[in-house]
Amino acid sequence: MALILIVDDDPGLRNSFARLIEQDGHVPLTAANGEEGIARLESDRPDLVVMDVRMPGMTGLEALARMKAKDPATPVIIMTAYGNTDTAIEAVNKGAFDYILKPFDIPEMLGLIAQALDASRQAKGHKAQPSPGEGPAVALVGQSRAMRDVYKQLGRLAATDATVLVQGESGTGKELAARALWSYSDRKSRPFVVVNCVAIPETLLESELFGHEKGAFTGATQRRAGKIEQAQGGTVFLDEIGDMPLPIQAKLLRLLQERQIERLGGKGPIPVDVRIVAATNRDLEAAMADGRFREDLYYRLQVVRIVLPPLRERKEDIPQLATHFLGLHAAAMNVQSPGLTPQALAALADHDWPGNVRELSNVLQKTLIFSRGLAIGEYDVRAALAGRSPEAPHEIGAEAVQAVEEYVRQAVAAGGPDLFGQVTDRFAALVLAEALRITGGNRTQASKLLGLSRPTLLAKMEKLGLTVQTQVKIGDTLS
């Protein structure tokens, strides 16, 4: 049995939640706002706090920071509205035990409460985490379970100086995650420096990282500080570390162990204060087995790992990511961000995304060009995925053409009183129904897509007996 403090401005939620907690065998306490919550924490010493973020007056995050300052040992679970990643990362970064999305799933909430109570029993007297720099700067989109776990890890690790290895397939967001670690850390006011270990030839990489003295090698006409020195106080992101040449790996290891570097041709070690975040999309274990990666460096790097899941394993993130990227690309193109039809979303969900989030971003950029200001439909998505060019959107496969020709042949052979009218009406109905389908039934957009005026479209729909929901197949008989 534990004493659990619920802080939420919604009395309905407080009451039903309190009952739930009683049923679970605990004793609920309630507070209607942040100030009251802090007062109750001091007076009643609950074992756990569950707090809303959006409350009038002090926000849940401010209250969280004050609670953690007064009493770091009591776990706080934050309840946040769907879609608010920044808040989630910030909450964990400010020391929240975890966060849960509202409206929450009851078994999930009870599970979290049990975990938090367990953890706090084990870790009484735990140190509070330092508070992050000002506002969030890096927005990671997606609320899948897997990504929420990543946000929690980022939140916890941002406050530390631990060397972190970010792993994940190409395009999963490794660099973005590394930036998030930096932007939620106390190092935020200092540089974030990126070094790509593959893009730079081996001979240059060493001087790029560690710098050189004048005359250290032919062409070293000036003394130059390396990227690591340039990042003093900040974070160095070593991208594609699996490709780092062995001699440089040795120097990196020395940096990690001794926190100092030496310039090429230098006269002695220079102390540096940098945090290292490394990324790779390779199997470092295989590289180690092949002798291309130092074992000692591998063991040092893999202590703290963040693994970004491939997009195909978190397809529930696609709609949110799609809207996010359409917004970004539309803004860059100076156009209004169009919507996606449900069919377009289904087509996006159908794809396997070997290039992960980057591929999704690229495909949406292309669909914007295809859609010419209209809602993005299934056709646009399929065309963008197939890599077709928007200049030739009407290219049709030979099989499809043959099928249509066959239909016409049969229809003409069968004959009929108004043969021409019947066949052309049937095609007209197909074209209109498809345009309505891919625009999600929006008649204004469908008329634009078809190059008809809206009244003409409406008149033709009327004549053909179509509604926005009508589904037409070529074999259907029209009434």
Interface with ligand ATP by CB under 6 A: which range of 226-234, 263-271, 357-365, 396-404? 357-365
What is the contact mask toward Mg ion in residues 120 to 159, using x (rule: CB under 5 A)? ----------------------------------------
Closest approach, Cβ 196 to Mg ion, in A, equals 8
Size of residue set near ligand ATP by CB under 6 A = 16
Q: Does 176 bind ligand ATP (CB under 6 A)?
A: yes
Query: Which of residues 185 and 442 has its CB atom nearest to ligand ATP in the complex?
Result: 185
Query: Which of residues 78 and 195 has its CB atom nearest to Mg ion in the complex?
Result: 195
Query: What is the crossing angle of helices 454-464 and 419-438, to 10°?
Result: 120
Does residue 243 contact residue 193 with C-beta atoms inside 8 Å? Answer: no
Q: Name the DSSP letter for residue 224.
A: E
In the set 153, 172, 185, 249, which binds ligand ATP (CB under 6 A)? 172
Closest chain position to ligand ATP (CB): 173
In the set 155, 168, 309, 310, which binds ligand ATP (CB under 6 A)? 168
- Pairing, β 260-261 against β 270-271: antiparallel
Q: Does 35 bind Mg ion (CB under 5 A)?
A: no
| 187 vs 274: CA distance, rounded Å | 9
Does residue 208 contact residue 245 with C-beta atoms inside 8 Å? Answer: no
Does residue 184 contact residue 89 with C-beta atoms inside 8 Å? Answer: yes
Closest by Cα among 163, 98, 165, 96 to 129: 96
Task: Look at the chain and count its residues.
Answer: 479
Q: Extract the tokens encoding 29.
A: 């306490």
Q: Does 277 bind ligand ATP (CB under 6 A)?
A: no
Mark 437-475 as b/e (b = at least 16 C-beta within 10 Å). bbbbebbebbbbbbebeeeebeebbeebebeeebebeee
In the set 357, 364, 435, 464, which binds ligand ATP (CB under 6 A)? 357
| 332 vs 300: CA distance, rounded Å | 41
| 262 vs 210: CA distance, rounded Å | 6
Query: Which of residues 175 and 316 has its CB atom nearest to Mg ion in the complex?
Result: 175
Q: Extract the tokens encoding 165.
A: 């290895």
Q: Does 175 bind Mg ion (CB under 5 A)?
A: yes
Interface with ligand ATP by CB under 6 A: which range of 66-74, 88-96, 174-182, 293-301? 174-182
Q: Does 115 bind ligand ATP (CB under 6 A)?
A: no
| 387 vs 410: CA distance, rounded Å | 34
- Pairing, β 3-7 against β 27-31: parallel
In the set 62, 71, 175, 213, which binds ligand ATP (CB under 6 A)? 175
Interface with ligand ATP by CB under 6 A: which range of 154-162, 172-180, 381-389, 415-423? 172-180
Q: Does 316 bind ligand ATP (CB under 6 A)?
A: no
Which of Mg ion, ligand ATP, none is residue 170 near (CB under 5 to 8 Å by kind)?
ligand ATP
Which of Mg ion, ligand ATP, none is residue 55 near (CB under 5 to 8 Å by kind)?
none
Q: Does 153 bind ligand ATP (CB under 6 A)?
A: no
Query: Which of residues 142 and 377 has its CB atom nearest to ligand ATP in the complex?
Result: 142
In the set 68, 174, 275, 294, which binds ligand ATP (CB under 6 A)? 174
Query: Which of residues 194 and 430 has its CB atom nearest to Mg ion in the complex?
Result: 194
Q: Looking at this protein, which amino acid is placed at residue 472?
A: V
Query: Which of residues 140 and 449 has its CB atom nearest to ligand ATP in the complex?
Result: 140
Does residue 239 contact residue 286 with C-beta atoms inside 8 Å? Answer: no
Interface with ligand ATP by CB under 6 A: which range of 24-32, 173-181, 219-227, 248-256? 173-181
Interface with ligand ATP by CB under 6 A: which range of 6-14, 134-142, 212-220, 255-263? 134-142
Which of Mg ion, ligand ATP, none is residue 213 near (CB under 5 to 8 Å by kind)?
none
Residue whose structure tokens are 């495909």: 363
Does residue 1 contact residue 31 with C-beta atoms inside 8 Å? Answer: no
| Integer angstrom CA distances of residue 102 from 13, 99, 109 | 11, 10, 10
Q: Does 142 bind ligand ATP (CB under 6 A)?
A: yes
| 477 vs 192: CA distance, rounded Å | 65
Residue numbers of the site for ligand ATP (CB under 6 A)? 140-142, 168, 170-176, 281, 324, 357-358, 361
Chain residues binding Mg ion by CB under 5 A are: 175
